[in-house]
Amino acid sequence: MMKLRLNTSVEVTGSLQDAPVSSVVRIPIQKKHKPVVKKKQIVGRGQVIAENPTKSAYSLGFVHSSIDGIVEEVLADAIVIGPIPAPKEGEEAVAPPVTELCAELDTLENEELSRKLLELGVDTSRFHASRALIINGLNPEPGVLVSEQLVKDAQETLKIGLQTLERAIKPGTVKLVVAKGKQISLHGCTTVHASDVYPATIDPLVVYAATGSERPDNVDVISISDLFQVGRVAQTKLPLMEAVVSVGDNVYLVPIGMPVQNLLDHAGVQYGSEWKIALNGPMRGTPIFNLAMGIPEKCTAISLIREDACPQVQPNPCINCGECVFVCPARIHPGMLSCNAEFGFYDEARYKNVEACLECGMCTFVCPATRPVMQYILLAKHSLAGKDELVSTCRLQD
């Protein structure tokens, strides 16, 4: 069984470090994004390379180049940008476009400001005007140090981020949730202390700790990383081009799209075939097998876990022991839901409240049969979401 310290709070002693600029970046894009560049096009740092066609002010942000370079590939899930080729003999070097500072950020308010932040790369989909705002100041998972590092080293940027959100969405109240025993505060926030024992650090449980209500509909919750990105854009007047990522005991400001391999090499991390590597934390992270993939803006960690330190999940039958039920923070029956998903009974899974799953991974963590319990549940949720999307686009013919 996997042995892992489930307290997420740590004492950070180092400083936030700048990762080197990569010569090649592979910038992730989402299904909603529409690329606006072509192969072999010269782009400048900060230039829009993919737009979100929505007219809303609250959605996925636009995507920008994090380096000066030339577009090498436009793929379904990423745009690859490499170094500008050297000019041929007798030709002048091609200068990449220069991104202008967005001076109007200081004068905009309300929905206009939210829309501008979206165009500058900020994901505003979790914002709503006039709701209470909760800032999750807890590290999201064991081994992820980003929240406490930013509180230590980026107070001014966080303050600017909060002031920007106050103009954009005018929250009724703002609460900062931190670990019990920690003396942490942010300008303009009411501090609330909560458990730092995972999974109490994930957003729905942090909201419950701050409000005493489960799934309140008048509350927005964002992470310290989200707040930092808003502040970074407002402070620099430039598009969002960096992610804050922890690797081991260090935290780096990383160009979005930087290959995972490059960051591991810069951090001096030694690993071999006995290690698993994941984007984000060890409990909810996404395993990766190609270290050339680019680091997305929402990534908070590169986690390395030894093969022998975690359960080797297999499609074994459920033994109905109930261990997953005991640890489930959503109070559902993960084992039964995983069986429904395993055999394609997705509507039955919906009836048994599969959508209430918080995706914390504790069910897989404790399963003595080493079933991929959460993965089955994610399969059911994904299949149901696809079905709902298909139904929403259908209409009766006249």
pLDDT in tens, 213-224: 988 989 999 999
Residue 328: inside a domain, yes or no?
yes
Q: What is the rounded CA–CA span in Å between residue 271 and residue 248?
A: 12
Number of domains in the chain: 2
Q: Write out the residue range of the structural domain in which residue 376 sits.
A: 323-393
User: pLDDT higher for 378 or 87?
Assistant: 378
Q: How confident is the model at residue 306 (pLDDT cuts 50, 70, 90)?
A: confident
Residue 39: inside a domain, yes or no?
no
- Co-location of 147 and 194 in the same domain: yes
Q: What is the rounded CA–CA span in Å between residue 340 and residue 374?
A: 12
Q: How confident is the model at residue 397 (pLDDT cuts 50, 70, 90)?
A: low
> pLDDT tens digits for 121-153?
999 999 999 999 999 999 999 889 999 999 999
- Co-location of 275 and 148 in the same domain: yes
DSSP H helix total and E strand total for the chain: 11, 17
- Co-location of 225 and 301 in the same domain: yes
User: Are the C-beta atoms of 159 and 186 separated by less than 8 Å?
Assistant: yes
The residue-averaged pLDDT of 173-192 equals 90
- Co-location of 242 and 343 in the same domain: no
Q: What is the rounded CA–CA span in Å between residue 281 and residue 148?
A: 15
Average pLDDT score, the chain: 92
- Co-location of 356 and 245 in the same domain: no
Q: How confident is the model at residue 2 (pLDDT cuts 50, 70, 90)?
A: very low
Residue 228: inside a domain, yes or no?
yes
Per-residue exposure over 339-376, b if at least 16 CB sit within 10 Å of its own CB, e if not: bbbbeeebebbbebebeebbbbbbbbbbbebebbbbeb
**Amino acid letter, residue 322:** G
The residue-averaged pLDDT of 319-330 equals 95
CA angle 296, 201, 137 (to 5 degrees): 70
- Co-location of 356 and 296 in the same domain: no
Q: What is the rounded CA–CA span in Å between residue 39 and residue 79?
A: 9
Whether residue 396 has pLDDT greater than 70: no
Per-residue CA distances from 21 to 72, 241, 256 (Å): 17, 11, 10
Residue 275: inside a domain, yes or no?
yes
Last residue of a domain, one of 251, 280, 310: 310
Whether residue 68 has pLDDT greater than 50: yes
Residue 56: inside a domain, yes or no?
no
Greatest Cα pair distance in the chain: 75
Residue 231: inside a domain, yes or no?
yes
Residue 379: inside a domain, yes or no?
yes
- Co-location of 234 and 352 in the same domain: no
- Co-location of 130 and 279 in the same domain: yes
Q: Using a cut of 0.75, tell me whether the model's pTM lies above it.
A: yes
Per-residue CA distances from 18 to 64, 158, 349 (Å): 19, 18, 45
Whether residue 285 has pLDDT greater than 80: yes
